[in-house]
Structure 1
Amino acid sequence: MDTIYAAEPYKIKVVEPIAVTTREQRAQFIAEAGYNTFLLRSDQCYIDLLTDSGTTAMSDNQWAGMMLGDEAYAGSRNFIHLQEVVRRYYGFKHIVPTHQGRGAENLLSRLCIKPGEYVPGNMYFTTTRAHQELNGAKFVDIIVDEAHDSQIDVPFKGNVDLAKLQRLIDEVGADRIPYVCVAVTVNLAGGQPVSMDNLRAVKRLCEAHGIQVMFDATRCVENAYFIKEREPEYAGRTIAEILKEMMSYADGCTMSGKKDCLVNIGGFLCMNDDHLYQRASELVVLFEGMPSYGGLAGRDMEAMARGIEESVDYHYIHHRIGQCRYLADQLVAAGIPIVRPVGGHAVFLDARAFLDHLPQDEFPAQTLAAQLYLESGVRSMERGIVSAGRNQETGDHHRPKLELVRLTIPRRVYTYAHLDIVARACEALYRRRRDIKGMRMVYEPKLLRFFTSRFEPLG
């Protein structure tokens, strides 16, 4: 390939051995796991691309900060540092730490949602929608139509469709919409970004109707990189400057620090409203801990504060996006169908096109993830009909248009050579795709079934 990919902007100081297994061993492991990659043990996986959540390699600076943990029950100096960093880079007035992102989602949903309300968002995310529904809201998808087509290559497939949002406001009334949830980037669309112009327009529309805008800011630095790359007026701006402006178009955010904050645990809820902060400070004591630690040790808050500072370094994020593109370019060259354009945290295989002989009710993405592990020891994640769950009213499957397998690249963990192996495994599987049979579900939990469901092969 002619493209030049940036070298790793770090050098390796500590190494961790990884498992090398035989096909016979993997056949046993995946069967025992019910053909669900979530149920595999990490020491059964060769290259683990299940998630980028909490799988980051922290820097020497972050590890040094861990030794400065102030484990006071209240008023930890590490919380003060984290608060200062969040205000500097994100601009929000208040921060409530949580044990991870879904802790923040739980607080926001309980604080803001009343039964019978509607929460519009630019495509659902699994835990986010679960918290919204558990608190009585109905999620409404207002993402642009292009996001549901894996092959349309447009720069900002994560954008909110303003006409869809306005139509919902007209139909149900602004008073029944507690907030608009905007993900930056959109995970289940393939890691697709939202443009600054769109964020600005969403905020303007919501302000006109008295509706709050809340970001899912989990991968906000990746979104800032795409804005710098794809919106000409931001080409000369720093990642930090772009990030700060992005956040100015929200009233608050939930954050899973296990992604773009470069840590292995932690998250937070942010807001500008004093009254909402007071209520959040009361509720966090019930579910997480004191408002100045919220389920985190002081050392974890220090690592997160330092991770936020490191995350806006251009060389770091340029290399991160480049690793995704490196893997994607190899797959495209081999004719393997993926989501286009490539997002910021993963390459998404289009399982519907990859296994086009399988109906969706035979779980092609779940099947493909299991087969990729069997082929190579590479662990990936289903993002299709299993992740979508069931309709609460009818009990039938949600059937998303996107039936995907996510090859998620952990931050600062793997090299280009590891990605070469992943590409070769996908190519081998693609050559024999017609021999692959689907699966049936043999165990299904009521909530977030993709974590613990079990399957067996058909035939």
Structure 2
Amino acid sequence: MRRRTAEPYKIKSVEPLKMLNYNERKEALENAGYNTFLINSREVYIDLLTDSGTTAMSDQQWGALMVGDEAYAGSESWHHLEKAVKEIYGYKYVIPTHQGRGAENLLSQMKIKEGDFVPGNMYFTTTRAHQELNGATFVDIIIDEGHDSLLDHPFKGNVDISKLEKVIKEAGPEKIPYVCIAVTVNLAGGQPVSMKNLRDVYALCSRYGIDVMYDATRCVENAFFIQEREEGYADTAIKDILKEMFSYSDGCTMSGKKDCLVNIGGFLAMNDEELYIRGRELVVLYEGMPSYGGLSGRDMEAMALGIYESADDNYIAHRVHQVRYLGEQLIDAGIPVVKPIGGHAVFLDAREFLPHLKQEQLPAQALAAAIYLDSGVRSMERGYVSAGRNKVTGENNKPKLELVRLTIPRRVYTNNHMDVVADSIIALYEKRDQIGGLEMTYEPPTLRFFNARFKPLAKNGELMGNTASVTTHS
């Protein structure tokens, strides 16, 4: 009999939660234009919108806030952060930024020129936006299995080496400033990349003189899957897996708000001294001095500690298993989810969940809204709306994956909260034919999913065909 384990921490402080009643949730949803990003946090019961910046920091991190060195230049806290990045990830040079997007901006401006191509293992919204704004075209080189939500494959984030080499040969190595590898792949369902694949990508790119840059936001989760699934790594510590992973790259962008276990912060890291010097100059224009990059000293102290804490085997095992705990309940109930369960979220397949809705009727956006209406649980759309428009034709991109992301914040919720989420989604699935589609009433020109607004397609203006049957928690 397998012995159950508990959280590798105990609760020292609590934040009260409030459940709005059904009518209050309905009003909040309407006021937000059926966009879960626009719902106020005080109106949310369990917040699974994102794992970005929603981490519960440790007592050691909170203590570190009090010793942050707020010097404008040469802060001791900066040196602590730089030391942590070098020790855990192995890069020579580090530039702090206010968050991951700041690092993406710097990298894109320094490396990309008009007409370039950036191959990557599936797009991410802000990453692709920065690449396109600087004149590049993103090219998807993920294996085909990454676009199949129901296929159970251990490393669905892997790069298709033949696709990558084809892009290199057709575009020419001089037109590829770098290859962008996400570890893990968010929009594929939090799917990992194998060590062998990382090694093969790096070897191929080295032959052509092309840099490999990681989106390392959830690299610790990727390391866990390598430890769990890849032959030869079962007895290798997470910190050692991380060091090997990063040895197959030339640099990375990092949003510290995920696997660095803080509420704000990020960095750009690299091994190329010339690129580092250029980055030090550019960061002053957009972020701040190279020794703080838009962060306070206390933020850097907390992130330095978070980097060490995240590389703990017990921490990451619990983190992934809690996500899996929710996902397995849904699978057991017949709910269509992306398989295998990823590291940071459970992704519902909205097309399978709501087969009566066409993709143009925004099934993922509608399902995310229906979940909030049912239980006060906030999730987010990752499909037609998030994919945006083709930058050349202006036509809507139509991704194969139409998903709702249930993103689990780190060290925040218990498994009892996961039970509440599961109950809501299972109840909705039983009356899924009552969930109607949405149409967009306001579309921002860039990254539209953040601020777009919607309305129900139904003539009576209701999202759910039979609102009386919706769960009415008080």
The answer, yes or no, to whether TM exceeds 0.5 is yes
Contact 1:6-1:318 within 8 A present in 2 as well? no
Asked if 1:74 is matched to 2:86, the reply is no
1:64 positional shift: 0.6
2:304 maps to which residue?
305
Contact 1:336-1:427 within 8 A present in 2 as well? yes
1:252 maps to which residue?
251
AA in 2 matched with 1:398: N
Asked if 1:433 is matched to 2:421, the reply is no
Contact 1:44-1:377 within 8 A present in 2 as well? yes
Asked if 1:158 is matched to 2:131, the reply is no
1:163 positional shift: 0.2
Asked if 1:221 is matched to 2:255, the reply is no
1:96 positional shift: 0.3
Note closer, same or farther for the CA distance 1:273–1:438 as it changes in structure 2 (3 Å cut). Answer: same
Matched residue of 1:232: which SS? coil
1:392 positional shift: 1.0
1:288 maps to which residue?
287
User: 1:421-443 CA deviation, whole Å, 9 max, x = no partner?
Assistant: 00000011001000111010000
User: 1:342-375 CA deviation, whole Å, 9 max, x = no partner?
Assistant: 0000000000100011000000000000000000
Note closer, same or farther for the CA distance 1:5–1:361 as it changes in structure 2 (3 Å cut). Answer: farther
Asked if 1:372 is matched to 2:361, the reply is no
2:339 maps to which residue?
340
1:274 maps to which residue?
273
Q: Distance in 2 between matches of 1:347 and 1:436?
A: 20
1:18 positional shift: 1.1
AA in 1 matched with 2:418: L
Note closer, same or farther for the CA distance 1:340–1:394 as it changes in structure 2 (3 Å cut). Answer: same
Hey, which bits of structure 1, 4+ residues long, moved more than 2 A? Answer: 2-6
Matched residue of 2:214: which SS? strand
Matches within 5 A, 1:181-200: 181-200=180-199
Q: Distance in 2 between matches of 1:329 and 1:183?
A: 25
AA in 2 matched with 1:124: Y
AA in 2 matched with 1:383: R
2:467 maps to which residue?
none
1:134 maps to which residue?
133
Matched residue of 2:232: which SS? helix
2:239 maps to which residue?
240
Contact 1:102-1:128 within 8 A present in 2 as well? yes
User: 1:263-305 CA deviation, whole Å, 9 max, x = no partner?
Assistant: 0000000000000000000000000000000000000000000
Contact 1:5-1:322 within 8 A present in 2 as well? no
Matched residue of 1:215: which SS? strand
Matched residue of 1:233: which SS? coil
AA in 1 matched with 2:196: D
1:118 positional shift: 0.1
AA in 1 matched with 2:441: V
2:175 maps to which residue?
176
AA in 2 matched with 1:306: L
Q: Distance in 1 between matches of 2:156 and 2:25?
A: 37
Q: Distance in 2 between matches of 1:4 and 1:321?
A: 17
Q: Distance in 2 between matches of 1:240 and 1:32?
A: 46
User: 1:366-401 CA deviation, whole Å, 9 max, x = no partner?
Assistant: 000000000000000100000000011111110000
Matched residue of 1:160: which SS? coil
Q: Distance in 2 between matches of 1:270 and 1:287?
A: 17
AA in 2 matched with 1:175: E
Q: Distance in 1 between matches of 2:395 and 2:171?
A: 25
User: 1:142-187 CA deviation, whole Å, 9 max, x = no partner?
Assistant: 0000000001101000000000000001111000000000000000
Note closer, same or farther for the CA distance 1:218–1:5 as it changes in structure 2 (3 Å cut). Answer: farther
Asked if 1:453 is matched to 2:458, the reply is no
Contact 1:101-1:254 within 8 A present in 2 as well? yes
2:53 maps to which residue?
54
Matches within 5 A, 1:322-333: 322-333=321-332
Contact 1:74-1:290 within 8 A present in 2 as well? yes
Q: Distance in 2 between matches of 1:145 and 1:343?
A: 17
AA in 2 matched with 1:318: A
User: 1:192-236 CA deviation, whole Å, 9 max, x = no partner?
Assistant: 000000000000000000000000000000000000001120111
Q: Distance in 1 between matches of 2:78 and 2:4?
A: 38
Q: Distance in 2 between matches of 1:3 and 1:332?
A: 21
Provide the identity percentage.
67
2:200 maps to which residue?
201
Q: Distance in 1 between matches of 2:25 and 2:281?
A: 48
Q: Distance in 1 between matches of 2:203 and 2:54?
A: 37
Q: Distance in 2 between matches of 1:394 and 1:209?
A: 31
Note closer, same or farther for the CA distance 1:392–1:65 as it changes in structure 2 (3 Å cut). Answer: same
Contact 1:5-1:326 within 8 A present in 2 as well? no
Contact 1:117-1:136 within 8 A present in 2 as well? yes
RMSD of equivalent CA atoms: 0.8
Asked if 1:17 is matched to 2:16, the reply is yes
AA in 2 matched with 1:198: N
Q: Distance in 2 between matches of 1:444 and 1:283?
A: 32
User: How does the TM-score come out when normalised to structure 2?
Assistant: 0.96
AA in 2 matched with 1:110: Q
Note closer, same or farther for the CA distance 1:5–1:121 as it changes in structure 2 (3 Å cut). Answer: farther
User: How does the TM-score come out when normalised to structure 1?
Assistant: 0.99
Where structure 1 has 5 or more consecutive residues not aligned to the other structure, the ranges are none
1:5 positional shift: 5.1
1:20 positional shift: 1.0
Note closer, same or farther for the CA distance 1:4–1:410 as it changes in structure 2 (3 Å cut). Answer: farther
AA in 1 matched with 2:234: A
Matched residue of 1:234: which SS? coil
AA in 2 matched with 1:143: I
1:6 positional shift: 3.1
User: 1:389-416 CA deviation, whole Å, 9 max, x = no partner?
Assistant: 0011111110000000000000000000
Matched residue of 2:315: which SS? helix
AA in 1 matched with 2:28: F
Q: Distance in 2 between matches of 1:90 and 1:165?
A: 25
Matched residue of 1:361: which SS? helix
